[in-house]
Structure 1
Amino acid sequence: MEFGVFGGLSVEDSDGPHLPTAPKQRQLLGLLLLHANQVMPVRTHVTEIWGGHPPPSAATTLQTYVMQLRRLLASMPSVGSRAAAHDRLRTTGQGYLVVVRPDELDLLRFERFVEQADRAAGDDAAVARLLRAALALWDRPVLADVRTGPVLQAAITHWEQRRLQVHETYLDAQLRLGRHREVLAELAVLTRRHPVHEPLHARYMIALHRTGRIGDALGVASRLGDRLARDLGVAPGPAIGRLTAAIRHGGAVTAASAPPRPSVLPSAPGPRRA
């Protein structure tokens, strides 16, 4: 059995896809999978599906959606019975949880690669390889084809930030390995996607400088300054200023010149291993 939340929602078994078509069932399943192996209270589901103004029948209707998801699970060869479906999608005193093994959900596989990279800290080649494998699982935004309410929106924002943190750690390992040319295209895309993200722009400047493209590196700093002034009314931080000066005047340019960022591989809230 395979579950997916990276890109679109997916549920597959040996006989093909088994995906709910009703929007609110998809919404419910997406919420459960983003918090796999974790009890999600009834009130959280109600807030996600109906917002701040649920109907009086919300809890009963939610039970119906859960029952329909169990029927879908029971139809899958690897589940095969109503009892097994109840074991997969459980009702607790406070809410519901879906039980998923680490190898069955792309989000859990992503976290497993990240944890392995964390344990390999100090071996940049291993870190880069493991994080590249993690990032390769993620080709589109989380639950891109699912209608989202306030709870899912917050969870999706968290996971998109998580992906960016992991990508930054991967890029740092690549830069320490001297693979500056190899990351230029990725950094060009990321800085366009995050036009006021100073640490990403600093990495792009460093990679350009180390491949001999001094003018392009200074151009990145100039565009960043213009965008920060226009969008936020602020100037780049001192780290960007020091990096720009070092590039302009031929000083030492290292990864340490980049603006600091938070610790990259914290344990992520959300899915737990079964």
Structure 2
Amino acid sequence: MNKWGKLSLGMVLAVGLLSGCGQNKNDNDTAASGNANTGAVTKKLIMGTSADFPPYEFHKVVDGKDTIVGFDIDIAKEIAADMGAELEVKDLPFDSLLNELSSGRVDMVISGLSPTEERKKAVELSDIYYKAEQAIVVREADKDKYATMDAVKGTKIGVQTGSIQEEIAKEIEGAKITSLGKISEIVLQLQSNRIDTAIIEGPVAKSFVKNLAGLVITDAKPEVEDDGYAIGIKKGNTELLDKVNATLKRLESEGKIDEYVAAASELAESTK
């Protein structure tokens, strides 16, 4: 199985040294865990993500261990550090993330989350931290066939369930949409000729075609207003929202986010 094969759903990976599982104390606090030796209480910040979205979040073997990495993870680490908390990352299906957030099983969602009107009603959304274009991915033999958006009309299109790409596909005339929980599953559908095209976030698409022979990005460009990506926080938790926005403002002023994007993109494209 190649490294972009189907990932286990519900995998939980910890970033840093974690001292056990915690639950949310209330709407305005992160989970806490006690130190058995000192009795001290350490805050734990639990991040929900769907780790098949390179270079945002993806699996990579680091020092012999399967690890979730990416520039969203780098941002989450900075948020946790500014709060004096330990970061735990939960890998979940994309379409379950907001339910996990609303139920309090995760404190924040960082996973290429577009600030749609529907999401604004359901959760708190941070300031925008990154914007990127969308891409049409096809089999290499079909690159010229689907070189324009007119040519994409009426095709079988693969998208991630609950994503902005799914909304884009709904606007394409005659589209026959296949919605799946993982981008890796969409890619497999494309490779096996079950779909004709796939709409994938630009940097993510570039990473997949770099690592998988036989797939390319066409010249077709979906016409869509890019609202960028935000971090999801449980509705009413304005305390955490303010802390997240403060960290994002700092990272932007320091130029760190662009650095994280470049480093994560290079890591995603590497074969080691």
- What range is the shorter-chain TM-score in? under 0.3
The structure in which a higher percent of residues are helix is: 1
TM-score where L is the length of structure 2: 0.23
Q: Which structure has more RCO (C-alpha within 8 Å, separation ≥ 6)? A: 2
Q: Which has the larger radius of gyration?
A: 1
The structure in which a higher percent of residues are strand is: 2
